[in-house]
Amino acid sequence: MSSPAAEPADRDNVFALRPRPAAPPRSTPPAPLWREAVGRELREERRRSGRTLSDVAGAAGISLPYLSEIERGRKEPSSEILEAVGGALGLELVDLTARVTRSLARERATRSPLCLAA
């Protein structure tokens, strides 16, 4: 009979001395969607520059609740809205996609099995 893989069995014999953190490594959330990733970057940039939702929404020509939904990744911004909000924050599309890329790459690194082996 073939024996089960050694690794999972070994892991079963490890007892935690402290309670596990709230988010156990094996249940990391899936990679974010585009609207979630880009919404996060927009919110971060707005906060970094110390501006309010009302200010940026006004400059972009959209409503405050709509901007808030975009920042939380709950509404899918059209490319034109994305350009308007980015423009209101002084960000070109390329700046925005570069930030999203960096952020997603960092997240992917923490999700990667290589990280568990390190």
Cβ atoms within 10 Å of 91's Cβ, excluding its own: 19
Min dist CB 6 to its own copies, Å, is 30
For its own copies, the closer CB: 47 or 108? 108
Measuring CA to CA, which residue among 27, 6, 23, 28 is closest to residue 108?
A: 28
CA distance 108 to 31: 7
For its own copies, the closer CB: 56 or 85? 85
CA distance 66 to 46: 15
For its own copies, the closer CB: 55 or 83? 83
Min dist CB 55 to its own copies, Å, is 23
CA distance 16 to 63: 49
For its own copies, the closer CB: 69 or 83? 83
- Give me the residues that bind its own copies (CB under 8 A), please: 31-37, 76, 78-80, 82-83, 92-94, 97-98, 100-101, 104-105, 108
Min dist CB 88 to its own copies, Å, is 16
What radius of gyration do the chain's Cα atoms show?
Answer: 20
Residues 6+ apart with CB under 8 A from 37: 73, 100, 103, 104
Min dist CB 33 to its own copies, Å, is 4
